[in-house]
Structure 1
């Protein structure tokens, strides 16, 4: 990109040089020269250059004194073209990128990998390749996330031949971390965790439909990671059990008008053995105490909790004074060496990024390697099942694979097809295949989220991982927040780019004051994060849209509405979060506001193939079989009738053990099961 001298000068006023480099030498020059993603900014910067030189008068803007340059730029603070410049400067100066370490990272005290740590790569299950796929298997599993991984492990350990079809390519972990512009949770451009171009969805919004591809806005598209291991490749690993009342929400709270609250067809007591197995086989570090008091256990955690840190100390003291219970968050990360892999090195970018030392536990390094060790597993990467056919004697799928850039169509049959592609893609595939009743695709929901921020007297959340550390469950099913409430946790350390683009109130939005804040007081910014129940609605759903993916199949249409009761949950969490922070001595507390209505899949999406005992109220039976089908089983978050008030992955794993265990125990009778 050609950069006029006036823009180069303006870059160094947005981030001025002092004892540290200014914006141009600190990373922006290289970013403008190398980034393939700045085509959107070039016209804005050209217009801004012309305006700056015109405002400068007789002398070019670049030749003016810095004070005069600042004066002219302040006059443009609400201008869209100047906003584009600030964005480009902050991306270039404060965002970690592949093969780039701009000066803003050191200024903010951020180091992606702790000193002395040598990254390692997990030994992913090999790719069988399209030529290695057999014509028939005992089972085909669609998706390699926590549900699909568990199903593959149990089926192969039972002696069944299994083909796992994974949409993502077989990429190393190094390609899935360290880029703060393309990480799945913080993607500004083309998310590294896919799915990439050729996977369109339509967000059905109040202001009109918006077509999104897999390279677009990751928040609106949906935050489910497209990688071997699914979301467990990139998650922070919060591994909670749902509470007993989470399994009977309708019985406890009733069903408000316009909602579709339902009880699970299983109880906490039914699920408890599977929770214990999930914690052991996945590998969870935790502590029995206040956070486990209402979830009786048959086994302890396999690893001790992570050690304390300043945020935990601060909020624990405040919780004690408020009379609230608290504890260290259970994490599916190695707090000590475990399962032949090292302990977490406490890097500051666990959430949304692959682990540098393979200490993050997920389907990719637990369930699927165990399945492969049986000799009964094939995994086909960079491929998609585009149709499932449910027959009386056999099921079959059509698989589209990418072989050296050329599409290859494969027909594969099996006794059973296990669909574990996530709440959006599972529903899309089954709807496109003509499988399922009117509930298939409906009841799409996630969680409600709230962030409360303020300023602490000292640094309580430095850039030391793994992230969230301390929590209270005292406002879950406790009456202090309606409709089941939510968990409150400490807010993790936000990346430098996030803080630069969204400074605290009263902080200059650019210039010397902004840089000084980034280098100092920013580290005292601290908050509490709430995650609570989202009440499902039948009108929030996945449908088939009038767009086609790279294989010519219909993309998903996403309509996501928010029930008034869910807003009550948000407001309740905000009030309790503010109370916690104020008791901790945090000043200037405010609620970070976003859009009131979520309109995409979110990151904890569930419910689109919800299980139940009656086809009039559910999409599948209690063991994941779509009503009316014979040889198809769903085994992922789609089955969850409700989503609790904590991260759902441990429940996905536990329920997958239950569903897959039943499939193994009833094989092959289950394959010819009921057709109600």
Structure 2
């Protein structure tokens, strides 16, 4: 007998089936009641159809044999349910039972293509609201390897917010531009609705890439670990590898950094072992670019407590999203505490805008593409505008493997059509704009021999904390877009050191996340677990904190010994956490608990995550940080690596520090500043010749 999943052919003559003991055990992990049990509710189909369960086959085969052995004279499947539960409780801490529990929850509570497991209805989760017909954004066409010219005015590497802005400004100035995107040209439908492969919740191969052949080495305290692009997304790094970059699947929190975020060293000094510096620009210099970013990206928000310390040219182009129970509960609590609060600014259409519809408030905005194209990002704003000029080519499914600087021209080597039979192309340009994200930008430039000793150093992200409690009535139903209300009263305040952090309501977590991580005291499987999922789970509510991470020179991207599919070195990531960053986390936890208690929550506790400090994160930055002196920076104030002539960095790599809020609006604003300077410093083919 063999146990087979994932659709592979069985050995000749083998009887292929799932043992009755496993079927019975699945129905004890999720017993039938008014809702189907685990087997009928989705696990049967999951075991039959999933291509990812080869890892579970040995564990489930061992478990089946063991259960039948424990059952004695009768097969386990023939025992009364109470006796089955008794035997399972005796082994519930074993690895083989953990595999059963995991597979059962994945099959019953995880949405995925072509499946609607019963657990979604049980918790009231509907991926697309009733009556909504999904639409697809009209992505910029693929020029294909055969359509690439030998020379362009500019080559832009990466199509995320930095690369998209650069492409827009360069093409609008009459420059010919080739944007090179590593990912294939995939539709939004392929980037939403899969709770096993979404970038933020990937259990298996993330749909947002980068796929196999892109190894990294995580340098961990317990030893180095080699990862590929199909592995643990949290450890590998959560940056999305798709057209539009992270803006294709973000939730859209579109904050401005505060004035003190641009002068962290002046305000706080530099603790031992850290590398805090000031930005080479001030908030006042950035403000016009923030205004342009909000207008051209499209942000919904309101002026008030959240904008009081960030002077503005004008208001937001769209009104804020309407209220919801979570906002009302925390707003009342903030008023009692004397804290300012407001609706979170979001780069989502709260009303029809720019020829696209309003958000339909689906429950899976975070980490998934929008069903109606109401999420604003590089893919549906900056790049279409660039294409409309007639000066843009976009090459998908292609990777730059080398950048070469020169006195008269720059050049790139491209492996085009990478998912098929790749074609090596050589393309030269007046300037090469590198906007591949904090890890890949540093890796590519280091592998190309470009940059000083600061290139790759100062890798940092944000510090995060989650506080959970229970409230008397559900306030966070499965209605999007996610986070709704925030306070900035603990940012650059006396309450939390080192710049502190923003506190927001916790977004609605996916059903599989709750099932796999129930509250302490909740049964981890069985009737009690299912009852909690169907009932009291909805009363769990949380506050989420995001705060400053103090950079360190020893946190860095270097070149690893492992090689990618082109024979180029992969990235090695070392991420250390400074004690000052831990102080920020602890401070956010204190005030997050205070906010929940003021809202009437009970049993409040701090959730401890398992994510390692060595992950690249999703807000990674700093690896090509800009400055006024090569002694403490990798690039000049306009993104040119010190010592280079025709290379410009234009992404989060440039951020010397990362503020205490989501960085994307700042990436966009700074990209407008960098690209505007590039255009103005480019008279008659003299790209890069001015400082």
User: What TM-score, normalized to structure 1?
Assistant: 0.99
Partner of 1:366: 381
> Shift of the alpha carbon at 1:165?
0.2
Q: How does 1:132-531 map to 2 (within 5 A)?
A: 132-402=147-417, 405-531=420-546
> In angstroms, what is the RMSD of aligned CA positions?
0.9
User: Structure 1's 37 and 596: CA in aligned 2 closer, same or farther, altered over 3 A?
Assistant: closer
Q: Alpha-carbon deviation of 1:299? A: 1.2
Contact 1:503/1:509 (<8 A) preserved: yes
Aligned to 2:12: none
Deviation at 1:404, TM superposition (A): 6.6
Q: Residue deviations 1:469-524, cap 9 Å, x none? A: 00000000011001000000000000000000000111110001100110011000
Counterpart-to-counterpart distance in 1, 2:76 and 2:104 = 18
Checking the alignment, whether the CA contact within 8 Å between 1:392 and 1:672 is kept in structure 2 is: no
Instruction: Tell me how far apart the structure 2 counterparts of residues 477 and 440 of structure 1 sit (CA, whole Å).
Output: 29
Query: 1:670 deviation in Å?
Result: 5.9
Summarize deviations over 1:11-56 as a string: whole Å, max 9, x none.
0000000111000000000000000100111100011111111111
Partner in structure 2 of residue 671 of structure 1: 687
Which residue of structure 2 aligns with residue 532 of structure 1? 547
1:606 is aligned to: 621
What's the offset of the Cα at 1:673? 2.6
Structure 2 Cα separation of the partners of residues 69 and 507 of structure 1: 20
CA deviation digits over 1:176-195, x for unaligned, max 9?
00000000000000000000
Q: Deviations over 1:223-268 (max 9, x none)?
A: 0001100000000000000000000000000000000001000000
Cα distance, 1:666 vs structure 2 = 1.0
After TM superposition, the structure 1 stretch with the greater mean CA deviation from structure 2, 276-285 or 403-412, is 403-412
Residue pair 2:235, 2:611 contacting (<8 A) in 1 also: no
**Aligned to 2:107, what secondary structure does the other structure show?**
helix
**Cα distance, 1:596 vs. partner?**
7.8
Take 1:262 and 1:4, find their aligned partners in 2: how far apart are those partners? 61
Per the alignment, in what secondary structure is the counterpart of residue 489 of structure 2? coil
Q: Is the 8 A contact 1:561 1:597 kept in 2?
A: no
Q: Tell me what 2:8 maps to.
A: none
Q: CA deviation at 1:275?
A: 0.2
- CA separation of 1:670 and 1:589: change in aligned 2, threshold 3 A: farther
Residues in 2 aligned to 1:117 and 1:520: alpha-carbon distance in whole angstroms: 27
Q: Residues of 2 paired with 1:443 and 1:492: CA distance?
A: 30
- The CA deviation string for residues 434-463 of structure 1, in whole angstroms up to 9 with x for no partner, is 000000000000000000001110000000
Distance in 2 (alpha carbons) for counterparts of 1:349 and 1:418: 33
Work out the CA distance in 2 between the residues paired with 1:598 and 1:270: 33
Q: Secondary structure at the match of 2:417?
A: strand
Q: Distance in 2 between matches of 1:146 and 1:56?
A: 59
Conservation of the 8 A alpha-carbon contact between 1:534 and 1:566: yes
1:61 and 2:76 correspond:
yes
Residues 670 and 308 (structure 1 numbering): CA distance in 2 closer, same or farther, change over 3 Å? Answer: farther
Q: Which runs of 5+ in 2 are unaligned?
A: 5-16
Contact 1:628 1:674 in 2 (8 A): no
From 4, 13, 22, the equivalent of 1:7 is 22
Contact 1:532/1:573, CA 8 A, preserved across alignment: yes
Q: How many residues align?
A: 675
Following the alignment from structure 1 to structure 2, what is the Cα–Cα distance between the partners of residues 168 and 371?
19
Report if aligned partners of 2:251, 2:365 keep a CA contact under 8 Å in 1.
Answer: yes
Structure 1: which 5+ runs fail to align?
none
- 2:397–2:419: 8 Å Cα contact kept in structure 1? no
**Deviates further, 92-101 or 661-670:** 661-670
- In 1, the alpha carbon distance for the partners of 2:129 and 2:565 equals 40
